[in-house]
Amino acid sequence: MTDGVNWLTAEEQHAWRSFVRLHERLIGRLAHLLQTESRLSATDYAVLVNLTDVPDGRRQYQDLARALEWEKSRMSHHITRMIGRGLVTREESPRDGRAAYAVITEAGREAIAAAAPLHVQAVRSLFLDHLTPAELRTLAEISVRVVEKLDENDA
């Protein structure tokens, strides 16, 4: 069953596992800080950021799910919880009865406005402050290249 597997070299395995460990610890720490300081989960924050990135603060569930790499059911359940907390509302599409929009509310805008400075400060202290400008540029180049390749494979 393992014939033909291109196993990772020791250097590749070290790089991969270091990256995974960095991602898990950093995301976990950021999520904990968000939750304790702003009472927003990391997923709440991700949804609200995506909604504030568009001028009218509304996105179709399907587009939001695609942007966050979530299944439609996960998106629907999470948006329902956020509706219950007053962070977003749901609007039916006037053109397509099967489509719905998540729309940020004033309370959602206030929550993200309060959480964003805390998040930025944490990103700086936990991550950015430990990189040189050259390392930051290299990281951005690597990230863009890998994401572009992933997007090509999705098309």
For residue 91 the two structure tokens come to 């609007």
Inside any domain, residue 5: no
Give the per-residue pLDDT at 44. Answer: 97
pLDDT at 42 over 80: yes
Inside any domain, residue 144: yes
If one counts the domains in the chain, the total is: 1
Inside any domain, residue 119: yes
Q: 92 is in which domain, residue-wise?
A: 10-154
Q: What is the mean pLDDT of the chain?
A: 94
Inside any domain, residue 1: no
Cα dihedral 142, 26, 87, 99 in deg (nearest 10): 40
Instruction: Give the CATH number, domain containing residue 145.
Output: 1.10.10.10
Q: Give the pTM.
A: 0.87
CA distance 39 to 114: 10
Inside any domain, residue 134: yes
Inside any domain, residue 59: yes
CA distance 12 to 120: 31
The secondary structure element, H or E, covering residue 91 is: strand 88-92
Task: State the average pLDDT over residues 130-137.
Answer: 97
Model confidence over 49-76: pLDDT tens digits? 999 999 999 999 999 999 999 998 999 9
pLDDT at 2 over 70: no
Task: State the average pLDDT over residues 77-106.
Answer: 92
Model confidence over 11-23: pLDDT tens digits? 999 999 999 999 9
pLDDT at 93 over 90: no
Inside any domain, residue 4: no
Inside any domain, residue 2: no
Indicate the pLDDT class of residue 131, thresholds 50, 70 and 90. very high
